[in-house]
Structures are given as C-alpha cells and as structure tokens.
Amino acid sequence: MADVGYYPVLNVNPDGVALVAWYGPDAALYANVSDTNGKWGTTQQLSLHPDLLQQRLPQLALDDTGNATVAWRDSGTPGSTDVLASRYSAGAWGAPTLFGQHPQGTDWPALGGSSSGTLALLWILDVYNIGTEVQASFYTPGS
C-alpha cells in the first residue's frame, strides 16, 4: 500500500488482519484492510467531507474474523455535522450509515467492539437551548 496521506490510525486483530484509516491530500477519508499475510486490499474512499476542523481522528473497530468498522465526524450536510460509519464485511465496504445528525452538530464519535463483532458507537449531540446529550447505537452481527 503506497497511498499518500496524513494522520493514519491503525487497528490489528489477533490473527494479524490490519485496518487503517487516514486523510488523503485531497482531505477525503480513506481506509484499507489487510489479510493475515499482510497483503493490503483495495483502498476505499469513505467520505469526501470528513470534518477536519476539529482534528478528530476516525474511530476503528476490527473483530477476530476481519470485519471492520470506521466511524467519523462528517461535514457533508450543509449546516450540520454528522456521525457516519462504514462497515467492511465479506471483502467489501458498505455504504456509510448516518448515526447522528443535527443542525447544532454532533461531536466526538467513539467506537468500541468485541472479538465477536458486537459494536457500540457513542457520540455527543449538541441540542440548542438544552446542552449536550450522549447518544448511542449498538450492532450485533446477524441482527
């Protein structure tokens, strides 16, 4: 893998499968997954609009079977910041899923996962005249 980029983040599972995400020179968010032999797959562009102003790195989760998830703060919706996540399973990346969207903004996505692939995604939602709320979404494989 010889892509140019900035601020890489990495996660490796016990079998040696690696997940990496980074910002490209075009300010887009990219990700890639290796196999157990260290051979990288095809680089995937996840977003053209990651929110780089807050300098928050994407969050990664990788289970024991090589399924991967990347979550990030995105500014692709005019007047809003959003929390999005994309999942890699069975050798392919899925379309980004919107988890948090609000005109006042969402912040600080945090992603955690178990070895079996269960995921928890948390983020902060800014609510006008109220303050901030912690939001959560959970994923269980096969559900």
Total domains in the chain come to: 1
> Is 3 a residue whose pLDDT tops 70?
no
> Is 1 a residue whose pLDDT tops 60?
no
Q: What is the pLDDT of residues 32-47, one digit of tens each?
A: 999 999 999 999 999 9
Q: Which two tokens stand for residue 23?
A: 């910002």
| Within-domain flag for 68 | yes
| Within-domain flag for 78 | yes
Residue 139, phi-psi category: left (phi > 0), alpha (psi -120 to 50), beta (remainder): beta
Which range marks the domain in which residue 114 is found? 6-139
| Within-domain flag for 70 | yes
Residue of higher predicted confidence among 143 and 19: 19
- What average pLDDT is seen over the chain? 89
Residue of higher predicted confidence among 55 and 112: 112
- Return the amino acid letter for 28: A
pLDDT of residue 102: 65
| Within-domain flag for 1 | no
| Within-domain flag for 58 | yes
> Three-state SS for 48?
coil
Residue of higher predicted confidence among 70 and 52: 70
Q: What percent of the chain has pLDDT over 90?
A: 55
Residue 100 β-bridge partners:
83
Beta-strand relationship, 59-62 and 68-74: antiparallel
Q: What is the pLDDT of residues 62-115, one digit of tens each?
A: 999 999 999 998 887 777 788 899 999 999 999 999 886 666 678 889 999 998
